[in-house]
Structure 1
């Protein structure tokens, strides 16, 4: 994770890999740009890879990116519930998503 001009970039290498594998062209560029612009202060102490992963999982399931981002900003707990990353096993769930 890095910070550019005070805006957090929450994209780990494996999140970018998942996005590259799952999405094409313009949408791939949009999701990377939108996630890179998310302000980490919105999510408190949550792991930002968990948040980004949850958004990507919802997009893989057909949820529109703007909807997933709105849910993330309004209540990140709902985002985690909807994506299956709310439990203590979230890292294992995320790993399964990456290996598909």
Structure 2
């Protein structure tokens, strides 16, 4: 179980409003490869969903089947992915 970062949670709330809590639970339950940062996958899912619950579900499925392709589709495949996420989701607060 991976808890989404605060900025992912905020974006989820902004994009999906009242549906966000159940969608957050879905993100928490998503099995993510240890090869990739969970925030990277969560951000890719939100970018691919573009505020659509149907696209969100499609992106979740894609993340489970071929997360590398999902990263490529959403512009998060390159080494500068953190910069892209910072730009789209706001700076990550220090831990």
Q: TM-score, structure 1 length as denominator? A: 0.79
Does residue 64 of structure 1 match 2:55?
yes
Partner-residue secondary structure (3-state), 1:88: coil
The TM-score, its normalising length taken from structure 2, stands at 0.82
Instruction: Name the Cα RMSD after superposition.
Output: 1.6
Alpha-carbon distance between aligned partners in 2 of 1:89 and 1:18, rounded to the nearest angstrom: 20
Query: Which consecutive residues of structure 1, in runs of 5 or more, have no partner in the other structure?
Result: 1-7
Select the residue among 16, 26, 42 that pairs with 1:52. 42
What 5-or-longer segments of structure 2 have no aligned partner?
A: 91-95
**Runs of 4+ residues over 3 Å off in structure 1:** none
Offset at residue 82 of structure 1 (A): 1.0
